[in-house]
Amino acid sequence: MSSGHKRRMEGNNESSRSKRYKAGNESYHFEVGGGEGGSGGNSLNGAGGAGGQGMGASLSLVVETRKATVKNNLRIDLKDLRDAVKHVSQPHNAPHPREDMPSPHRIFYGREVLVDEITSLLATENTSRVCITGVGGMGKTSVALAVAERAIQENIFLKEHIFWVPCVEAKSPDLLRRILYAQLCITAETYDGLEPLIAELDASEQRRLLLLDNFETPWLSSNDSAKVCEILVRLAKLPHIALLVTMTSGFTPGDIEWQHRPLAPLDPTAARDTFKRKYRDAAGGHELVADGPELDELLASIGHIPLAITLTAASGGCLGISPDDLLRDWKEEGTAMMSGNQTRSMDDTIRLSMERGIVKSNPEALELLAILSLLPAGTIGSNLDWWAPVLTSSRRHAAIKTLRIAALIEQDRGPFATSRIFVRPTIQSYMSHQDRIPAEVRNQVHDACYDFVLRHKSIPDDPKFKTDLEALAGEEINIQGLLMEVPDDAPRPNAVDALIAFSLYQSWTKPSTVVASHALEVARAVYNDPHVSDRDTAARRVAAAHQSLGKSLLRLDRYDEARPHFEETAARFKDLPGGPDLHHAGEALMQLLETWMYIDTKPELESLAQEARAHLSHDETDKYHVARGLLGFGHFLRWSRRQDEALETLSAAKVIFEHLGCPASTAKCLRHMARAYARLGRTTEALHIIKDAMENADQSGEVLWMYLTRCAMTRYLILQGSYKEASTIFTQSLPLCQAIGAPLNIAQELELLAYNCAAMMDLPGARVAYEGAQTQFTKIKSTEMGREGVERCSDNLRMLEDMTEMDQNNFSNLIQPYPMY
């Protein structure tokens, strides 16, 4: 272990060799649960299956201790522990909510021969690039899901080696990458590049199938189709990775040798069966009576296209009208046939559904359809107050009913306030072309987005911070998509402020440089505009954008990149046109100080610490910022190994924060104090303080500090030999480190788990956890902490290989996790 790492945050030269502790006799039991109704999802390591009920089935690791199984002389169940290690290594929800592969559609007629043909193509590597194309609503997804099921039945692919990649929300290369990471269950330090994903796919030994569904969204809707093409081509270059792509198009994507299968309309028999089933569902179980030649004529006139059949049957069933009446409506609307045959244009089908009398008579329905078409993830009923504020509650309800009758939108089951309301992807695509969404509606949705972000803008010490995080998380996909459309030139009012606020939110959840970088670009463009009158506000926004980008880079451990942004932030806040803002400058200097402590190459940092504290404390009547200065300086003192001074300074800050009711900053003070006590060998005092820190962190809702306080508590319990009690903390900290998603956090947590297993004389459990930790450390091997983590885990695994059972002597030879204070 290098001395540089040992000094990184603590300035110490302690050995990483473990202390010797007597192993306890008591053990614990882990229980791992998958998503609702499913087995937890796929992973490249083969964890879980492709099943699941409902969209966005939970990926969270549920590890809980059963009181009935916490008994003396019980060992950890190895299978449960192995599952725990695999699940905690899966990606958290931050990059993108993971979705389980849906089951084959209940209504599936007339495609059996095509399913058999495509399944055979995928069985051989040189024909395993299959693209299913066709107009919207032709049933491409149904075919693809049936192919996946058939491939499992014929043992061409294992169930856990088939990955569904829904692309309907991937309106940019960045979103497409994030969806790929989430669906393939790959955790990376950052999701801004494709290298970790390609590396893991390339390293896999068995054949795998990627089903990229609705690929027309990234291919046809993205502003950078070249980057989308690059992602697809790189996937196609992996010979053992089979690709099955569906897209609304007549052409295949990319420079790839595809097995192209254009999807034809349903045959008349399948079309009749589909219409009658959908009509019966929409009519509340009542059968279609007039199902003779008039139904055949109607189906022929709409081209036997599945979505056209669905829209027509749903309208007919809801209204209780006959095929003759429906056919008369179509003819009165003057529907044009597709050139050369009896199929109808999908655009015409959707347009006719929109122009049906029930929709045309309700202008609010058309407006709501336009609004929902701008939200790729849809929204819940209660949030329509934000997205459609001009519509009263009763008018919104009427509009939703109208759109559902016409089958133009869908609504999940459950209470209206929490059910998701969304537009079908094909209809959303139709609405987005040829200026079908009025400019005033588009501007209103963008303004609603900015207002939503700014109304939920808060910092961790605010009482409403936790609820604000939840609100933003529910609309994150929609918000990011809309914010990335903000132009550099002449953005709408509040657009820059919303960009900065949302990038800060992401720095507290899952850091990303995408939105933060765009925020800086737009802020700079506004500041450089000679026509801007409020120069002070424009300058503040540039400084704040630098700071938000620096925070994300710091959280991503990209210290050398973060440092100049904090330097720029401090300089700009000290040189504002309207006079210096020393509070903001001081916060930036504290963040710069923290960055330098991680880099650990600058010889003298005390002057920087003093300057930051002085700026924060310049107004002695502002107790909050005075305390922030004490907190930052106390952190520096602890890092400098001046523990007694640190404890005095941090105690003074804690008193102020507790009086002001600031749980996040109180938790940070207490955690630094606990670490100082632990460093002095006063573990009992450290444990008492870290419990208080954990309660404050939970109250704040800041996930990182909820995890860090529990991680510290685990270390102190292990130091005291309280291994059984430490095991109960893992049930809380494992899901939290997964939520953070950083490989370093997961690696450190699994290494602690492995060491605790060894202390409890569980040799198999220790091996499994060390293997998981080693895998995660390898992902960040470019950093010193990653390299040293790999070395520790490798050394410990080599020792464990030669053991037949764990005993106290063997345990004492293991290398202790770092740090342990």
Q: What is the pLDDT of residues 267-318, one digit of tens each?
A: 888 889 888 888 888 888 888 877 788 899 888 877 777 777 777 787 788 7
The C-alpha R_g of the chain, in whole angstroms, comes to 29
263 C-beta neighbours (distance < 10 Å), count: 19
The confidence score (pLDDT) of residue 71 equals 41
Render the burial of 687-723: b for 16+ CB within 10 Å, e for the rest: bebbebbbebbbbbbbbbbbbbbbbbbbbbbbbeebb
Q: What is the pLDDT of residues 204-241, one digit of tens each?
A: 878 999 999 988 888 866 677 788 999 999 999 999 99
Rounded CA gap, 497 and 526, in Å? 12
Tell me: pLDDT of 186 over 50: yes
Rounded CA gap, 316 and 312, in Å? 6
Query: Tokens representing 356?
Result: 């049906």
Q: Is the pTM of this model over 0.85?
A: no
Rounded CA gap, 306 and 313, in Å? 10
Render the burial of 183-193: b for 16+ CB within 10 Å, e for the rest: bbbbbbbbbbe
The confidence score (pLDDT) of residue 337 equals 26
Query: Tokens representing 307?
Result: 């979505």
Mean pLDDT of all residues in 318-333: 74
CA distances from 662 to 109, 239, 618, 700 (A): 61, 55, 20, 8
Tell me: pLDDT of 431 over 60: yes
Q: CB of 608 within 8 A of CB of 630?
A: no
Helices (H) and strands (E) in the chain, counts: 37, 10
Amino acid identity, position 25: N
The confidence score (pLDDT) of residue 635 equals 96
Q: Locate the domains of the chain by residue range.
A: 112-262, 268-342, 359-437
Mean pLDDT of all residues in 103-109: 63
What average pLDDT does the structure give for the chain? Answer: 83
Which pLDDT band holds residue 348 (cuts at 50, 70, 90)? low
In this structure, what DSSP letter does residue 32 have? E
591 Cβ contact partners less than 8 Å away, ≥ 6 residues apart: 547, 550, 551, 554, 566, 569
Render the burial of 543-580: b for 16+ CB within 10 Å, e for the rest: bbbbbbbbbbbbbbbbbebbbebbbbbbebbbebeeee
Mean pLDDT of all residues in 731-758: 89
Q: Evaluate the omega torsion of the peptide bond into residue 580 and state whether it is cis, within 30 degrees of 0.
A: no
Tell me: pLDDT of 633 over 90: yes
For the domain with range 359-437, which CATH number is right: 3.40.190.10, 3.90.1490.10, 1.10.10.10, 1.10.3720.10? Answer: 1.10.10.10
The residue ranking higher by pLDDT, 328 or 549, is: 549
Rounded CA gap, 548 and 713, in Å? 30
Rounded CA gap, 477 and 246, in Å? 22
The confidence score (pLDDT) of residue 10 equals 41
Which pLDDT band holds residue 59 (cuts at 50, 70, 90)? very low
From 675, 597, 553, select the one nearest 8 (Cα to Cα).
Answer: 597
From 814, 816, 746, 789, select the one nearest 5 (Cα to Cα).
Answer: 789
Mean pLDDT of all residues in 706-714: 95
Q: What is the pLDDT of residues 234-274, one digit of tens each?
A: 999 999 999 999 987 667 888 899 999 988 888 888 889 88
72 C-beta neighbours (distance < 10 Å), count: 9
Q: What is the pLDDT of residues 72-91, one digit of tens each?
A: 444 556 767 766 666 665 54
477 Cβ contact partners less than 8 Å away, ≥ 6 residues apart: 96, 97, 169, 175, 376, 377
Residue range 112-262, CATH number:
3.40.50.300
